[in-house]
Structure 1
Amino acid sequence: MSQFIFSKKAWLFHAFFIFSFSIIAQTPVWTENFEYPIGDEIGKHGWLFENDNPYLKVCPGLTFEGYAGSGIGNGLQIEEENKNAARHTFPQISEGCVYVSFLVQFNSNLKSQYFFTLWDGNMPSWAGGTDTKFAFNGRIYGEKNSDFDSRLNIGLSFYDNQKAVYTTDKPVVIGETYLLVIKYEIVPGDNNDKVSLYLLDRIQDQEPEQPLLGPLSDNASKGDIYPAGLMFRASHTGQDIIVDGIRIGTTWKSIISSSSSGISKESINNRLKIKKDSQNIFITLPKEEQINIYGINGKLLFSVKGNTGINRIPILNKGLYFVTAGKEKGKVLF
Structure 2
Amino acid sequence: MISRYYFLCCMLFIFCEANSQVKLPYYEGFNYSIDSVLIKPGTNSGFGGWTIPSFQTAGSSPDPYIIASPNWKLPANLPSATGNALEFIGSGDDPIITIPDQDTTGIIYSSFMFRASDFSAVTVNNPVYFYSFAKVASSGTSLNYTSCVYIRKVSDSTFDLGISENNNTTNAVWSSTPLDINADFFIVISYDIDNATSYMWINPVINGTQPSTVLVTNETATSKRTNLTMVRLNLDSNAKTPKSQMDEIRIGKTWASVTQSTTSGVDFDVLSGVKLYPNPVRDNLFISSDDFPAASISIYSVNGQEVLNQKDISNNRVDVSNLSPGNYIVKLFGSGKIVSLKMIKE
1:36, distance to aligned residue in structure 2 (A): 0.1
Q: Secondary structure at the match of 1:254?
A: helix
Conserved 8 A contact 2:204-2:211: no
Q: 1:132 to 1:269 in 2, by over 3 A?
A: closer
The one-letter amino acid paired with 1:243 is: M
Letter in 1 for 2:187: L
Aligned counterpart, 1:51: 57
| Distance of aligned partners of 1:149 and 1:79 in 2 relative to their CA distance in 1, 3 Å threshold | closer
Alpha-carbon offset, residue 119 of structure 1: 1.0
Q: 1:78 aligns with which of 84, 88, 112?
A: 88
SS at match of 2:144: coil
- Which one of the candidate residues 56, 68, 71 is aligned to 1:60? 68
Residue 165 of structure 2 contacts residue 172 of structure 2 at CA under 8 Å; is this kept in 1? no
Report the counterpart of residue 169 of structure 1 in structure 2: 176
Cα contact 2:175–2:215 (8 A) shared by 1: no
Aligned position for 1:313: none
CA spacing shift, 1:218–1:117, aligned 2, 3 Å: farther
Question: 1 CA distance for matches of 2:226 and 2:114?
Answer: 25
Q: Percent identity?
A: 20
* Alpha-carbon distance between aligned partners in 2 of 1:140 and 1:61, rounded to the nearest angstrom: 22
Match of 1:134 in 2: 143
- As a proportion of its length, which structure holds more helix? 1
- Checking the alignment, whether the CA contact within 8 Å between 2:69 and 2:85 is kept in structure 1 is yes
Flag the 1:196–1:169 CA change in 2: closer, same or farther, 3 A. Answer: same
Q: Deviations over 1:50-94 (max 9, x none)?
A: 32431421112352144555421111112122x111111122223
Q: 1:92 aligns with which of 69, 90, 101?
A: 101
Higher relative contact order (CA 8 A, sep 6+): 1
Whole-angstrom CA distance in 1 between matches of 2:188 and 2:231: 13
User: Relative to structure 1, is the Cα distance of residues 162 and 233 closer, same or farther in structure 2, using a 3 angstrom cutoff?
Assistant: closer
TM-score normalised according to structure 2 size: 0.59
Question: Higher Cα Rg: structure 1 or 2?
Answer: 1
Asked if the contact 2:106/2:192 (under 8 Å) is kept, the reply is yes
CA distance in 2, matches of 1:203, 1:245: 15
Q: Which runs of 5+ in 2 are unaligned?
A: 1-22, 40-45, 275-288, 292-346
2:190 alignment counterpart: 183
Q: Which of the residues 123, 126, 129 maps onto 1:114? A: 129
Aligned partner of 2:36 in structure 1 is 40
Deviation per residue, 1:200-254 (Å, 9 max, x gap): 0653432112x22114244545x42222211111112162111100111111111
Q: Is the 2:129–2:149 contact (alpha carbons within 8 Å) kept by the matching residues of 1? A: yes
Deviation at 1:117? Answer: 1.3
1:1-334 aligned within 5 A: 29-43=25-39, 44-45=46-47, 46-49=49-52, 50-52=56-58, 53-54=60-61, 55-62=63-70, 63=72, 64-66=74-76, 68=78, 70-81=80-91, 83-94=92-103, 95-109=105-119, 111-120=126-135, 122=136, 131-132=140-141, 134-145=143-154, 149-187=156-194, 192-200=195-203, 203-209=206-212, 211-220=213-222, 223-237=224-238, 239-258=242-261, 261-264=263-266, 270-271=271-272
CA RMSD of aligned residues (A): 3.2
TM-score (normalised: structure 1): 0.61
* Equivalences, count: 234
Question: Aligned AA for 1:37?
Answer: S
Unaligned ranges ≥5, structure 1: 1-26, 277-334
CA distance in 1, matches of 2:175, 2:144: 28
